[in-house]
Amino acid sequence: MKRGAGMEDVHLHLKNLGFTDLEAKCLHVLAENGTQTGYEIAKQLGVSRSNVYSALQKLAEKGAVLTSHGEPTHYQSVPIEEIGERIEAELQASIRYVKAHMPKQGAHRSEYFSLEGDAKVIERIRTELKKAKEEALCELWSEEAQLLKEALRQVPAQGVRLLVSTIGEAELPSGAHRFQHGREEGWQKRNGRKFTLLIDRKLAIVGTRGGDEPALAMMTEHPAMVELLLNNFFRDVVIHELQQDMGAKLEDKYGKNFKKIIQKYTEMKMMDPQPEDVGKSLEVKSSEGKSAEGKRRKKK
């Protein structure tokens, strides 16, 4: 072990390899000082000899230390390279066994699973893109497209169709079908940049990154969400094609990004009757009522 490496960090990684805290400390002392007795190690660590001897016995059983014959018993650490190779071989053997004998997950993931934190969200997206067998539909901002650049590059290489709708300039792999949208910088920073992915028209992933809140994502195989993302994606594709062919005419008639159409159905004041209209309506009804009443009186 290198001198200068943080002792706590070394202990942490040794524990990640399956050693207890005391076993890690004993290994560190032996690697640093060479052959030692249990008494010497206990003295340096300030730990009871019985606990140290128990830890050393476990290390010997794991093949991490060598023991001498005679009294007192001396201990020597096996080179860390040798320990690492043995652990790696055992780990690989365990992984192969579990893959072969673990029950296969056949359940449909119709529940909604949540992910929080940038590392978890991005790693899950990369993992699911690797699993794609037929098609991956992605709607991404340029920042997320850049972050997922390598994972996206692998998709066409797997023989999978890749369609990407991007917001802003983004470099995409050859073989990807790209639909680029103009970027409006007025996005709400606190809400983050929204992204969606649909893998094999089966798994839906929806999330946000880049806002004031941590990265968040939701994934599900629920048919309703899958259909919603599918329809939304291909609606954007149709609009993209229309804008490519008739962009100037569409903008003149409907405004940029069809805002005039959207406003007609989203602005409540345009859908609700105005107060003055209501007043006029009441006046008309009142005059009509008075006129009818006058006619009845004349007849009498």
3-state secondary structure of 205: strand
The number of angstroms, rounded, from the C-alpha of 83 to the middle of its chain's C-alpha atoms is 35
Residues 6+ apart with CB under 8 A from 73: 37, 38, 67
Give the Cα separation of 258 and 271 in Å (integer): 18
Residues 6+ apart with CB under 8 A from 168: 141, 142, 143, 180, 181, 183
Examine the pLDDT at 260 and tell me if it is beyond 80. no
Examine the pLDDT at 65 and tell me if it is beyond 50. yes
3-state secondary structure of 12: helix
* Segment 228-255, tens digit of pLDDT: 999 988 888 777 777 777 767 777 777 7
The DSSP 8-state label assigned to residue 103 in this structure reads P
Give the range among 25-39, 49-63, 281-295 with minimum mean pLDDT. 281-295
Q: Which of 154, 120, 119, 122 is nearest to 136 (CA)?
A: 154
pLDDT at position 176? 86
What single letter denotes the amino acid at residue 250? L
Examine the pLDDT at 168 and tell me if it is beyond 60. yes
Q: Which helix (H) or strand (E) holds 89?
A: helix 80-101
Give the Cα separation of 130 and 133 in Å (integer): 8
Query: Dihedral of CA 43/48/50/51: which sign?
Result: negative
* Segment 279-296, tens digit of pLDDT: 455 454 455 555 555 555
The CA–CA distances, whole Å, from 153 to 20, 55, 157, 175, 266 equal 41, 49, 7, 9, 39
Query: Dihedral of CA 253/254/256/257: which sign?
Result: negative
| pLDDT band for position 222 (cuts 50, 70, 90) | very high
pTM of the shown model: 0.58
pLDDT at position 278? 47
7-99 maps to CATH 1.25.40.10: no
113-242 maps to CATH 3.50.50.60: no
Examine the pLDDT at 118 and tell me if it is beyond 80. yes
Per-domain residue ranges of the chain: 7-99, 113-242
β-pairing, 65-67 vs 135-141, is unpaired
pLDDT at position 1? 41
Mean pLDDT of the chain: 83
What single letter denotes the amino acid at residue 34? G
Give the range among 105-109, 142-146, 214-218, 246-250 with minimum mean pLDDT. 105-109
